[in-house]
A and B are shown apart, each in its own frame.
Chain A
Amino acid sequence: MSADTVNLAVLREFLLRVRNADGGWGYQPGKSSRLEPTCWAALALGSTLAPNALEQWPSVDGLLLERRGGTPNYAFQGLALIVLRAQHLEHAAGNRTLLAALQRVKGDALPASTINRQDNSLQAWSWIDGTFSWVEPTAWCLLALKQWSDVPGAVGDRDRIVVAERMLVDRCCAEGGWNYGNANMLGQELKPFVPTTALTLLSLQDRQSLPAVGRSVAFLEREGTSERSGTALALALMALRAYGRATPAVRDALVAQLPTTLDLGKVAAAAMSLYALSEADRYAAVVL
């Protein structure tokens, strides 16, 4: 049995072992089910190993709750829609209802900024209601809308895609790549990070001619192994593969990181690692 096969088996066994009785996954073993780790575990294990808790995940007015009894989280709703589509699942409220709700919500508009160089009028997606647009939620929601755009009538407002792309380009760091929200602050250029860059590149796969995308792919190729964590390396592996770049170093780094990810009990990161390493569906869920 190859080392790769052993690693995948260990990750699978871990995820199956820490699954909750309600069919979902918590961020840590033994913790209550949350939307983000449940999405990743479902994606990594596939519908045969993980009869899906997502279909019955609690929602209000088409917005998925981050946890039972909690509040909506737009980023994870984007992720959930990607998983639902990849696994051909239908949420109890209807996938189109979830999509419509996601297109209805947006980050707050803010007055023109005097502290950084960015366009605050661009309303993409925030993490939660009543806050301003941020890179991660925008990238997840943008990728979700693009994944669903080939389904007739599913994406009703294409302006949301246009504005989200503009917002992400606007927030691209000077050297390429993305920080978490701003590219500069109080006169200082901010540094890009690997996971945010990888995720944003996934959402802009169909816009490879944009200079911001070119700079960011170069950053990720250069720095893809610089942030050692299951999350950063798994996303980097998926993004570089989506752009047709070589990935052996990132893959090796991800394998080397697995013991730490598991030691810390990081369920979502373990699931991301399994999905990234197994390549079972050639990343169909996140590749446009």
Chain B
Amino acid sequence: MPRLSSRERDRSMRLSRRDFVAALALPLVASACSRRPYRRSDFSLPQRSVVELLPASSYDVDFSDLIGRGLDDLGVTVRGRRVLLKPNMVEYEPGTAINTNPLVVAGAVAAFLRAGAAEVVVAEGPGHRRDTEYLLTRTGLHDHLRDHGVRFVDLNEDEVEYVALKSNFTGLDKLALPVSVLRSDFVVSMPKLKTHHWAGMTAGMKNFFGTVPGAVYGWPKNVLHAHGIDNSILDLNATIRPQLAIVDAVTAMEGDGPIMGRPRHAGFIAMSQDVVAADATCCRVIGLDPERLPYLAEARHFLGNIDAPRIEQRGERIDRYATVFDVVDAFKPYRLAR
């Protein structure tokens, strides 16, 4: 999606808002211009991206060990670095699969500490329910963090700095972002794999909506919706540049996600230093075509790989988990031809 002229952008923003309200999942705004809204020299696509699919049939597995093995196999080094884990914690409802499971988060904490991280923090800024004390207590994450002596940062309330966006699909130029994210050495996206009624799928990239501070922008972070969900996903990922994705797809969500969908057992953890490639792989597993999801189709040009030949699958093969998740009607045309 090339950058739009100001007039086109104004029009596209109106369209984005209207389309948001109409619940239509539109592709990224189109334009006759060919210039893309970022400096190519700021980005370098990996020749090849490794994605690990690690089996986890239930939440009874030892995630510290599993994730630790994933880190070793990917060659991730965090010794002496400040690591920020960004799980997806949106809402609590018993028996659902809304949030990254606290056991996966706790396993990651242990694995990174064992790998020599100087500090590990867990940080999230929920998009509508801003009472993180309730969410931390109810999900049990607070107990796990206390056991590990790890602090939680509420990104909705963190100190902020305005930063220039490294790409400009939204037309926002700059955004206030939490200093805990900006000053970390190593940012890890730890989403729950879910279908999403506006974006098609939410995993490693969409997870960064939770970094936008609600105290500054309000809830449900309308600034992002008003400027286009796909555009916002791209600008956030281009600016934050996460170093790793660890996707909780043990029990995922299908249907009317990210909150009202149904749990669906998927049985794996996906890990990759290329967050785009991790998302593309998850997309294929749940039966969606990554080339048709607008933010992934655009991300392939500058943020990461989505083409299968450029992604090396390790651990289990996609075929082992490949299935078709239910999605809302707007995304049924985005399904893979199988």
Contact = CB atoms under 8 A, between A and B. Distances in A.
B99 to A, nearest CB: 15
B218 A134 contact: yes
Interface string B107-132: 00000000000000000000011011
Contacts of B219: 127, 134, 136, 180-181
Is chain A's binding surface mostly helix, strand, loop or mixed? loop
A114 interface: yes
Contact of B21 (A113, A134, A260): A113
Given A115-B23, A128-B216, A264-B142, 13 more contacts: A31-B159, A67-B215, A71-B216, A113-B21, A114-B23, A127-B222, A130-B222, A130-B223, A181-B128, A186-B256, A188-B260, A191-B93, A227-B138
Given A66-B215, A73-B218, A231 B131 contact: yes
User: Which of A136, A185, A195, A227 counts the most chain B CB atoms within 10 A?
Assistant: A227
B326 to A, nearest CB: 13
A137 interface: yes
A232 B129 CA distance: 11
Nearest to A76: B215
Given A180-B128, A186-B23, A128 B217 contact: yes
Interface in B11-61: 17-18, 21-23
B260 A186 contact: yes
Contacts of B197: 186
Contacts of A32: 159
Contacts of A31: 157-159
Interface in A153-205: 180-181, 185-186, 188, 191, 193, 195
Contacts of A66: 215-216
Interface of A: 27-28, 31-32, 34, 36, 66-67, 70-71, 73, 75, 110-111, 113-115, 120, 126-128, 130-132, 134, 136-137, 180-181, 185-186, 188, 191, 193, 195, 227-232, 260-261, 263-264, 266, 269
Interface of B: 17-18, 21-23, 93, 128-129, 131-134, 136-138, 142, 146, 152, 154, 157-160, 176, 197, 214-220, 222-223, 226, 256, 260, 328
Closest 6 CB pairs of A and B: A127-B218, A27-B157, A131-B222, A229-B134, A229-B133, A115-B23
Contacts of A230: 133
A232 B216 contact: no
A114 B330 CA distance: 14
A264 B219 CA distance: 22
A230 B159 CA distance: 22
A110 B21 contact: yes
B137 A228 contact: yes
Contact of A185 (B132, B146, B157, B260): B260
Nearest to A179: B128
B221 to A, nearest CB: 9
User: Which of B134, B159, B214 counts the most chain A CB atoms within 10 A?
Assistant: B134
Given A28-B157, A263-B146, A126 B218 contact: yes
A130 to B, nearest CB: 7
Contact of A264 (B21, B136, B216): B136
Contacts of B260: 185-186, 188
A42 to B, nearest CB: 17
Given A27-B154, A269-B133, A131 B226 contact: yes
A188 B256 contact: yes
22 contacts: A28-B157, A67-B215, A70-B160, A71-B216, A73-B216, A75-B218, A110-B17, A111-B21, A114-B22, A114-B23, A115-B21, A120-B21, A127-B218, A128-B218, A180-B219, A186-B328, A191-B93, A227-B131, A231-B134, A232-B131, A260-B137, A264-B136
Nearest to B222: A131
Contacts of A261: 133
